[in-house]
Amino acid sequence: MPKSGEDHIRSVNDGRCVYINGDRVTNIAEHSAFQNAVRSVARLYDFQADPANLDRMTFETPTGQRASRAWQLPKSYRELVERREALVSWAQLHQGFMGRSPDHVASTLAAMSMGLDVFERHTGGRPLAVRDYYAYARDNDLYVSYVIIDPQGDRSKGTSADGNADLAVSICDEDAEGITVRGSKMLGTGAVLSNEVLVTTLRPLGPTEEKYAFTAAVPINAKGLKLLSRRSYEQAAPSVFDNPLASQFDENDAVLYFDEVKIPWERVFVHRDPACQLAQWHNTPAHSYQNYQAEIRLLVKMRFLVGLARKITETIGTINYPSVRETLGELASQVGMIEAFVYGMEAKGWQYGEYYLPDPNLVYAAQVQSQTLYPKVIHTLRELSGGGVLMLPSSLADFHDPEIANVIRKTQVSPVLSSEERVQLFKLAWDAIGSEFASRHTQYEMFYSGPRTVTTGMAFRCFDWKQTADAVNGALSPDALPASLLAGQPARLALVG
Ligand X SMILES: Cc1cc2nc3c(=O)[nH]c(=O)nc-3n(C[C@H](O)[C@H](O)[C@H](O)COP(=O)(O)OP(=O)(O)OC[C@H]3O[C@@H](n4cnc5c(N)ncnc54)[C@H](O)[C@@H]3O)c2cc1C
Residues that bind ligand X (CB under 6 A): 100, 146-149, 152, 155, 186-189, 253, 440, 443-444, 447-448, 450-453
- Least distance CB 20 / ligand X (angstroms): 17
- Least distance CB 286 / ligand X (angstroms): 13
CB-CB contact of 115 with 286 (8 Å)? yes
Q: Looking at beta carbons only, is 395 or 456 nearer to ligand X?
A: 456
10-33 as b/e: b if 16+ CB within 10 A: ebbeeebbbbbeeeebebbbebeb
Residue 178, marked binder: no
112-142 as b/e: b if 16+ CB within 10 A: bbbbbebbeebebbbbebbeebbbebbeebb
| 169 CA to centre of own chain | 22
Q: Looking at beta carbons only, is 100 or 422 nearer to ligand X?
A: 100
Q: Could you give the CA distance from residue 236 to residue 234 in angstroms, rounded to a whole number?
A: 5
Q: Looking at beta carbons only, is 155 or 400 nearer to ligand X?
A: 155
Q: Could you give the CA distance from residue 25 to residue 479 in angstroms, rounded to a whole number?
A: 76
Q: Looking at beta carbons only, is 17 or 186 nearer to ligand X?
A: 186
Q: Could you give the CA distance from residue 291 to residue 286 in angstroms, rounded to a whole number?
A: 9
- Least distance CB 281 / ligand X (angstroms): 12
Q: Could you give the CA distance from residue 346 to residue 76 in angstroms, rounded to a whole number?
A: 10
- Least distance CB 148 / ligand X (angstroms): 4
- Least distance CB 230 / ligand X (angstroms): 9
Nearest to 438 by CA among 187, 306, 300, 246: 246
Nearest to 12 by CA among 105, 142, 137: 142
- Least distance CB 189 / ligand X (angstroms): 3
**Cα distances (angstroms) measured from residue 209 to each of 46, 343, 489:** 43, 40, 48
Residue 153, marked binder: yes
DSSP 345-401: HHHT-EEETTEEE--HHHHHHHHHHHHHHHHHHHHHHHHHHGGGGTSS-SSTHHHHS
CA dihedral defined by 15, 20, 23, 29, rounded to 10 degrees? -40
Q: Looking at beta carbons only, is 375 or 451 nearer to ligand X?
A: 451
> Max CA-CA distance within the chain?
93
Residue 479, marked binder: no
- Least distance CB 144 / ligand X (angstroms): 11
Q: Looking at beta carbons only, is 371 or 385 nearer to ligand X?
A: 371
Residue 154, marked binder: yes
CB-CB contact of 381 with 112 (8 Å)? no
Q: Could you give the CA distance from residue 92 to residue 80 in angstroms, rounded to a whole number?
A: 18
Question: Counting every residue, how long is the chain?
Answer: 497
Q: Looking at beta carbons only, is 99 or 115 nearer to ligand X?
A: 99
Residue 152, marked binder: yes
Q: Looking at beta carbons only, is 102 or 450 nearer to ligand X?
A: 450
DSSP 260-279: EEEEEGGGEEE-S-HHHHHH
- Least distance CB 104 / ligand X (angstroms): 8
Q: Looking at beta carbons only, is 419 or 442 nearer to ligand X?
A: 442
- Least distance CB 190 / ligand X (angstroms): 7
- Three state DSSP letters for 50-71: CHHHHHHHEEECCCCCEEEHHH
**Binding region for FAD:** 152-155, 189
**Binding region:** 152-155, 189
